[in-house]
Amino acid sequence: MPLETGRTSDDHLLWVANPFTGVVTYLTDIHRKRTGFHRSNGEAPTPSVDLTTLRAHCPFCPGNEELTTQEFLRRPDDTGSSWLIRAFHNLFPRIPSECTGGKNESYVLVETPDHFRQDATSPDHLVYSAMLPPDHFREMIRAAAELSSVPFANPSVEAVVIRKNQGRESGASQPHPHTQVIGSNRPFAPVARELEVLRSDPGIFRQLVELADREGFTVDRRNGCSLYFSPIGMFPRSYEVVDLETDGRLDEIPRDRLDTFADLLRQGLAILGDTPIDYEIHADRGIPLHAHIHARHFPYSNIAGTLNLPMGLLRSRNA
């Protein structure tokens, strides 16, 4: 099979597919993004660092709405005078617009109007997703599901993934809590691989849940949805949330199932707290609704595709 690549109309390389894994690398201007993290290196803030000033320059904070692109979704706060959650186009699309019919199908969902914790005295005292109250977190996941229907309306889009980065070490460039909804012109390689395995072994996710139960890896289970430590995660501190009874696109999931899933996802994030993390929600027809949660702060040994885990890791999972 020839190497798969894509080019722009003026013949610049746009993307290339890994012939072994199917993972696509897109050549974008993402490197032009400026980080919004204050680089204090753990030191006390200098007198010139003012939290109010930092909020005033954050495009995700209330009052700065004109600094973002077109708004696609808004959930009002209790007063109705401002917002609780809002979404708009990602200024730097993760999938180039040339790949999705000339339309930017990457969206940012701002999870909360709060940038810093209420008692913040340092630029490092940031709000993180697990701090959101349960009702707020559920509404945020519902909003992500609703927003996922927007790229699906584009006939050039074949797949949508929900992804979150938290912390510089995870690759995030913006400290204000946010989630990404990304539409692609082709199936995302990890989801496509999961579907491929399911076709040959339809019970593979159930086997993983049973393994977690058997080995004491299960953290919680509610209404057929499980949260467990994943021994096959990409990083040593990985968790999965799997709803064995639900499949389909995220915007097709019944609200009660989505809320249970959100509750366990939030619980998994709470285990890791403000540790740098990323998570992805995989939802498609023929695959159980699930999320992969990865802590990105802990050292690991990865040799030729194998992952070595310390035996005592689980004993400190809630530390």
Give the tens place of pLDDT for each residue, 178-218.
Answer: 999 999 999 998 999 999 999 989 999 999 999 999 888 99
Of 163, 189, 215, the residue that ends a domain is 189
Residue 163 lies inside a defined structural domain of this protein? yes
Take residue 245 and report the two structure tokens written for it.
């009874």
Give the three-state DSSP class for 241: strand
Cα(176)–Cα(114) distance, rounded to whole angstroms?
Answer: 8
Together in a domain, 79 and 185: yes
Residue 99 lies inside a defined structural domain of this protein? yes
Output the domain CATH number for residue 237.
3.30.428.10
Give percent above pLDDT 70 in the chain.
86
Look at residue 37 in the predicted model and tell me its pLDDT.
75
Q: Residue 129's pLDDT band (boundaries 50, 70, 90)?
A: very high
Q: Residue 249's pLDDT band (boundaries 50, 70, 90)?
A: very high
pLDDT tops 60 at residue 289: yes
Look at residue 318 in the predicted model and tell me its pLDDT.
45
Q: Where is average pLDDT lowest: 11-25, 84-98, 123-137, 150-164?
A: 11-25
Together in a domain, 76 and 177: yes
Cα(157)–Cα(308) distance, rounded to whole angstroms?
Answer: 37
Task: Provide mean pLDDT across the span 228-242.
Answer: 87
Together in a domain, 251 and 168: no
For 126, which DSSP code? Answer: B
Q: What is the pLDDT of residues 56-102, one digit of tens each?
A: 999 999 999 999 999 999 999 998 889 999 999 999 899 999 999 99
Residue 244 lies inside a defined structural domain of this protein? yes
Together in a domain, 77 and 142: yes
Look at residue 45 in the predicted model and tell me its pLDDT.
46
Q: Residue 304's pLDDT band (boundaries 50, 70, 90)?
A: low
| Residue 81: C-alpha distances to residues 56, 225, 264 (Å) | 19, 36, 31
Q: What is the pLDDT of residues 163-188, one digit of tens each?
A: 999 998 888 889 999 999 999 999 99
Cα(138)–Cα(141) distance, rounded to whole angstroms?
Answer: 5
Closest residue by Cα to residue 235 from 190, 189, 186, 294? 294
Residue in this structure with the two tokens 């803030």, named with its chain if needed: 45
pTM of the model: 0.86
What is the count of structural domains for the chain? 2
Task: Provide mean pLDDT across the span 234-260.
Answer: 94
Together in a domain, 156 and 197: no
Of 157, 189, 221, the residue that ends a domain is 189
Q: What is the mean pLDDT of the chain?
A: 87
Together in a domain, 205 and 137: no
pLDDT tops 90 at residue 39: no
Domain span at residue 106? 54-189
Each residue of 56-66: b (16+ CB within 10 Å) or e?
A: eebbbbbeebe
